[in-house]
Every structure is written in C-alpha cells, then in structure tokens.
Amino acid sequence: MNTATVPEPRTAAALTARRRKTEAALERVHQAITRLRREKAQVSVAAVARRADVSRTFIYDNVEARMAVASAMTEAGERRSQMLADQDDEHEATWRERALNTEDALRAAHAEILAQRTRIGELLGQIRDLQAEWTEEAIQRITTENTTLKQRVRQLTTDNRTLDERLKAARSNLRFQDRRVADLEAHITEPAPKS
C-alpha cells in the first residue's frame, strides 16, 4: 500500500505552472546569451537579464541560469566578472532592501487601514443595534471613539500615500542604478585609447 501523499490538484497545478514559468525564463536566458554571442556584445548578468526579460535575482538564484551566464562570461574572457557581479549585487541589494522595506510598510499600512475600517463598522453596528439601551454618556464615548478612528484612518491613508510615493521613488532609483551600472560595465569593456 502506497502511503505517499498526493498533492492537491490546485497545489499540483500551481507547481506545474511555476515550473513552466521557470523553464520559459531559462529558455529566454539561453536565447539571450546566444544573441549576445552572435552580436559579439559583452555578456554580463545585467545584459542577459535585460535581453531575457528576467530579473537579476532570478539569474543569481537559479543555478542553471547562473551557470549559463558564468560559463558565457568565462568563454568571452570576462576575468573581472566576479568583481562586477559583487559590485552589482551590492548596489542592487541596497536598493532592493529599500524597496522591500517600503513594500512591507505599505502592506502594513493597508492591513491597519482595513482593520480600522472593520472596527469602525463594528462600532457603528453596535450603536445602531443598541442605541435605545445606551446612556447618553456611552453614546458620547462611542461617538468620540468613532471620530478618533476616522482620524486614524485619514492619517493611515496619508501615510499609505507617502509610502507609495517612496516605493515609486525607490523603484525609480533602482532603474537609474541599473542603467548606471550597465553604462559603467560598457565603459569598462571599451578598449583603452592607444597613445
């Protein structure tokens, strides 16, 4: 009797879809390397990522993609690839960390706004249901609490907008840094002028 667990159909479908997506991304990476070699262009993580429409993180995290790019860079005589990759990782890591921190704060703000709205709804429902039984003092307290919660929601909405703007700025800075790194990589590979 086989006691192995069979994954749920949705889980199996999700895993299959993820595997297909990864395989398609790997195929694009291999095609991008082939095109770069054909064009005699510099093979770098950034160039392959751009051509293959994948993130650099995908190339670094996926063993097959990382090995294919490293092999292509070695074949092209890129001896300084490790130094450039380290610099690239360092730049990308700082911007990625900022973007992730902003996204986390944005998610937390959304969750807090939802929780506050839910609480306001509960309090309004309690006021309607029990208004005849409540004293004037209790009604005043609930009204005050409702006003405070509404102010908190307004503040969180403002904070949410600010965090969203920061996230957009961080993404913009990351795109600028990517372009700058690509420009620097291209500049480094240019032959020095002969004197």
CB-CB contact of 151 with 180 (8 Å): no
Least reliable range by pLDDT among 42-46, 87-91, 161-165: 87-91
Q: What is the per-residue pLDDT across 68-107, written as a single tens digit (0 to 9) for each? A: 888 888 777 644 545 566 666 666 667 777 877 888 888 8
Give residue 39's pLDDT band: very low, low, confident or very high (50, 70, 90). confident
What pLDDT, on the 0 to 100 scale, is given for residue 4? 55
Condensed to tens digits (0 to 9), the pLDDT of residues 102-156 reads 888 888 888 999 898 888 888 888 777 766 666 788 788 889 999 999 999 999 9
CA distance 154 to 113: 9
pLDDT at 151: 95
Query: What is the reported pLDDT for 126?
Result: 76
Is pLDDT at 3 greater than 90 in this prediction? no
What's the pLDDT at 79? 44
Computed over every residue of the chain, the mean pLDDT equals: 82
Q: What was the pLDDT predicted at 154?
A: 95
pLDDT over 60 (residue 34): yes
**pTM assigned to the model:** 0.36
CA-angle at 8, arms to 54 and 62, nearest 5°: 20
